[in-house]
Structure 1
Amino acid sequence: MTDLDWHHQAACKNLPVLLFFPPEGERQPDRDRREAKAKAVCGGCPVRMRCLEEALQRNDKFGIWGGLNPEERVSVRRRVQRTGALSLVARPRPRVTVSEKRCCRCQEVLSAELFYADNRATDGLTSACKGCQHARERQERRDAREAVA
């Protein structure tokens, strides 16, 4: 496959560009909906990892590439720089749909209903499921009691 042959196999090749790139003045709720739709397209794309690798190499600062927005790509780029392994990015993982999330603690793919709303975790990578969140809170209470005793 030559450098640009993968573009012809992309799931997004016939879709509107505005699905993957924000229009000027886009508000956050609209952005979240648009990005969720774009990421759903990327989730089933046969060349998703090639797209992401190229976006990381080019240091693209705009749009959804390989299923990640610019902030998420910065996070991945830092992780790759720390470990020196791009394989962390290319590791096959179960597909996560728009109605599902992956818990950052137990790594399970669960229904989005099993997560608390977290306005800080816009990338969906730092959200813990309710079960893991409750376990962490219980542990923090135990630690606080032991510190007092």
Structure 2
Amino acid sequence: MSETSRALRPTVEAWEWQLRGACREADPELFFHPELERGAARQHRDAAALAICAECPVLRQCRQHVLSHRESYGVWGGLTEEQREAVWSGRTERRRLRRAG
């Protein structure tokens, strides 16, 4: 039995940061848009979720997790779905290089 608990320890340590997330005290629906939500309603909901993320003590770990695991839905790590897609597709980097060049 002690062999099993030693094997699980790294996994627990890798996910432990989630217990300190500011989002744990918020309504989860704030971070995931309802089907067909668009326009101002979505912008307001995303802004409210991003405000919670901005104060989160584990923002860096959350962002690192979501970008490496390619979570497609919801606000994670202070990034909306569209912002993450821009990072993954390289659009953000290309825009930055165009402005610098």
Q: What's the TM-score bracket when you normalise by the shorter of the two chains?
A: 0.7 to 0.9
SS at match of 1:12: helix
For structure 1, the 5+ residue unaligned runs are 83-104, 106-149
Question: Match of 2:43?
Answer: 32
Q: CA separation in 2, counterparts of 1:7 and 1:16?
A: 15
Ranges in structure 2 where 5+ consecutive residues have no aligned partner: 1-11, 97-101
SS at match of 1:63: coil
3-state DSSP of counterpart to 2:23: coil
- Larger RCO: 1 or 2 (CA < 8 Å, sep 6+): 2
User: What number of residue pairs does the alignment pair up?
Assistant: 82
TM-score (norm 1): 0.50
Please, what is the CA RMSD of the aligned residues? 2.1
Q: Once the two structures are superposed, what CA deviation does each residue of 1:37-79 show, in whole Å capped at 9, x if it has no partner? A: 0000000101011101111111111100011011111222345
Structure having the higher helix fraction is: 2
Taking only the aligned residue pairs, the percentage that are identical comes to 37
Query: What is the aligned partner in structure 2 of residue 68 from structure 1?
Result: 79
Higher strand share: 1
Aligned to 1:77: 88
Equivalent residue, structure 1, for 2:99: none
Letter aligned with residue 78 of structure 2 = G
